[in-house]
Amino acid sequence: MRILAFICLLILSGLTGLYSQDTGDVQVKSGYMKVPEGSLYYEEAGTGEPLIFIHGHSLDRRMWNEQFFKFAKHYRAIRYDLRGYGISSKQTEDFQFTHAEDLVALMDALHIRKAHIVGLSLGGFVGADMLGCFPDRMLSAFLASGNIRKSKGPSEPMTKEEAAKRDEEIAALEKKGVDVMKKEWFEGLMQSGGTRKERMRVPLWEMIDDWDAWQPLHKEVRVIIGLDAYAKLKENHPQVPTLIVEGRSPGNRYSDHPEILDYLPNGKLKVLDDCGHMMNMEQPEAFNEALEEFLNDLE
């Protein structure tokens, strides 16, 4: 019992609670790091400039399997579970936090002043929030299948009308069934893909199946800074080197000119052929090549 209590104390105090594992020639450290009202599970490997991977909605750190180990050979690679996903702390309806602020807290705890940020979908929203609110903590941004989310930020708490609408949506989902919703969500991600999408079917479903679906079943606080971040980005025009990445396939939609690029002097768009929303999982070679080229050009 004393040993168990000591381990719990390490985790909750943010003293890493690390264990190590070997994956080929890459040694991985993992643990929990304290953030306000919770903790984030993270993994890191390698040395060099910090490179942080941020996963998508309904998924977790495992979506980066084909990037994390590769880039750990040349960078201090870090991946983690966002609050409310994977094995990080659960969300609640009454504690206001944002994923970007959690990321900054994680960076502080890991003694990282600046990092390259790689995000996909929800992770791309978080990366765009960072560009708006914390550009001084970024070496670069590589945002795939998502950038600025034009939704209300923490400056506009949920109104009574919004809460009532959410109650209706939650009731409808409960009637429909979470399992049905998960299947539809999964098939939508699959259908957006190109000719190699079947290679991701099993790992993608494993993550969605493991997801507890808390977010669609509750009145989530403003976890994305959204329009609040966008206002700051428009005002400040951060100089952070940024690559907005989209996938070209019949089932995937994207803008030929993402509006965010109007406010990023060092921002560009890159389109990867024959892949959809989950491009890093269905076309890992092309995704990795684009990321590697982007990072090399910074040097």
In this structure, the number of other CB atoms found within 10 A of the CB of residue 88 comes to: 23
pLDDT of residue 24: 59
Mean pLDDT over the full length of the chain: 93
E strands within the chain? 16-23, 26-35, 38-45, 50-54, 76-80, 115-120, 138-144, 242-248, 267-273
The stretch 95-103 carries a mean pLDDT of 98
> 47-78, pLDDT tens digit by residue?
999 999 999 999 999 999 999 999 999 999 99
Domains and CATH numbers, the chain: 26-295 (3.40.50.1820)
In this structure, the number of other CB atoms found within 10 A of the CB of residue 280 comes to: 30
The stretch 136-151 carries a mean pLDDT of 97
In angstroms, rounded to a whole number, what is the distance separating the alpha carbons of residues 299 and 122? 28
The stretch 144-161 carries a mean pLDDT of 96
Exposure b/e, 251-272, CB count within 10 A at least 16 = b: ebebeeebebbebbeebebeeb
pTM score of the predicted model: 0.92
In angstroms, rounded to a whole number, what is the distance separating the alpha carbons of residues 220 and 95? 9
Is the Cβ–Cβ distance between 106 and 40 less than 8 Å? yes
pLDDT of residue 131: 98
pLDDT of residue 187: 98
| Statement: residue 7 has pLDDT above 50 | no
The stretch 268-288 carries a mean pLDDT of 97
Q: Amino acid letter at 183?
A: K
The stretch 261-285 carries a mean pLDDT of 97
Q: Which residue has the tokens 């690559």?
A: 243
